[in-house]
């Protein structure tokens, strides 16, 4: 492995240059549909906060479901094992916004990364903190060092206006007693969380605690080593939805994707990676992003396997 990861990132950007532009930006949230699929950025953050980047690595994009990895960690740090009584940790094999399993599994979502599971996590974090989205934003600002990192009000309004599927999931789980806050309050918190705008550099730095076995950038402990392992394990098995098997096969790292076209990936004990390119495949993962992570682990040998 090279001493600096910069040449690796430069090589990946060249090798995959035909891919940005393939796939389609998400359009079920209209504010995301206008993203230019030709964007591509990639950043790697080492454990000490050194960051390497290529392409649009400093340009903010809509973090969307990437935030689910952070809210899971924040809730786990407060809720502990109790969380796992309210959400499972098995891959769903279904699309991220699917409703089908919820009825025969009694309102307990399969895992924290499908939308139903993320709604439960945000609900619990909101009950414990009084401001789930604000807690998330404060954490991302502190870890990335970017005080301007914020919610995107246009994306928030757009998703709120087209949020019927998430509203259905939340109401259905509330009917089983698995939601604490009023559903409209929860939906506002969840949509706000998803609307966070951040760059590859911001998100790679903010995910650093997952590579440092739960330790934050200031040396304090967010998660125990065991809890950090839990979050990484659920990212590996469930972080890219019904494509998690293919992602593990190609990339070999815990990863979490979002429909804004970003993906974070973790090399425990070594570094974190964030890629972004808005063109998505049919399962909601960035086409160029997955390819770039595939090349990253192949070229560096950095994988959990």
Total interface residues for ligand DON by CB under 6 A = 12
> Is 68 noted as a catalytic residue in this protein?
yes
Task: Single out the catalytic residue among 44, 120, 259, 275.
Answer: 259
> Is 65 noted as a catalytic residue in this protein?
yes
**Per rule CB under 6 A, is residue 65 in the interface with ligand DON?**
yes
**Per rule CB under 6 A, is residue 257 in the interface with ligand DON?**
yes
Looking at 49-57, 245-253, 254-262, 267-275, which segment touches ligand DON (CB under 6 A)?
254-262
Q: Which residue in the block uniquely carries the two structure tokens 């998703």?
A: 159
Task: Single out the catalytic residue among 8, 98, 241, 257.
Answer: 241
Residues 157-186 that bind ligand DON (CB under 6 A): 159, 166
Beta pairing partners, 256: 264
Residues 196-235 that bind ligand DON (CB under 6 A): none
Which residue among 204, 284, 290, 293 contacts ligand DON (CB under 6 A)?
284
**What does the per-residue mask of binding to ligand DON show for 114-153, with x meaning CB under 6 A?**
-x--------------------------------------
CB 158 within 8 A of CB 191: no
Report the catalytic residues. Answer: 65, 68, 190, 241, 259
Binding site for ligand DON (CB under 6 A): 64-65, 96-97, 115, 159, 166, 194, 257-259, 284
């Amino acid at each position: 492995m090279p001493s600096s990861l910069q040449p690796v990132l430069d090589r990946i950007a060249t090798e995959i240059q035909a891919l940005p532009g393939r796939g389609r930006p998400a359009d079920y949230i209209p504010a995301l549909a206008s993203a230019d699929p030709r964007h591509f950025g990639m950043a790697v953050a080492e454990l000490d906060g050194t960051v390497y980047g290529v392409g649009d690595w400093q340009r903010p994009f809509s973090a969307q479901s990437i935030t689910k990895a952070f809210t899971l960690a924040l809730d786990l740090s407060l809720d502990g094992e109790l969380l796992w009584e309210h959400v499972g940790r098995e891959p769903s094999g279904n699309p991220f916004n699917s409703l089908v399993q919820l009825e025969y599994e009694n309102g307990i979502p399969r895992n924290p990364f499908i939308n139903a599971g993320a709604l439960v996590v945000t609900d619990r974090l909101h009950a414990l903190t009084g401001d789930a989205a604000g807690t998330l934003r404060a954490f991302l600002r502190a870890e990335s060092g970017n005080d301007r990192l914020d919610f995107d009000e246009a994306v928030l309004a757009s998703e709120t206006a087209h949020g019927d599927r998430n509203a259905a999931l939340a109401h259905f789980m509330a009917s089983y007693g698995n939601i604490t806050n009023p559903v409209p309050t929860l939906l506002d918190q969840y949509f706000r969380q998803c609307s966070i705008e951040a760059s590859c550099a911001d998100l790679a730095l903010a995910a650093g605690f997952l590579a440092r076995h739960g330790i934050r950038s200031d040396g304090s402990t967010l998660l125990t080593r065991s809890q950090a392992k839990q979050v990484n394990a659920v990212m590996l098995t469930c972080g890219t939805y019904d494509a998690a098997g293919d992602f593990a096969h190609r990339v070999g790292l815990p990863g979490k994707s979002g429909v804004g076209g970003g993906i974070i990936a973790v090399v425990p004990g070594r570094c974190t990676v964030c890629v972004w390119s808005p063109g998505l495949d049919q399962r909601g993962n960035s086409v160029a992003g997955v390819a770039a992570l595939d090349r990253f682990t192949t070229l560096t040998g950095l994988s959990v396997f």
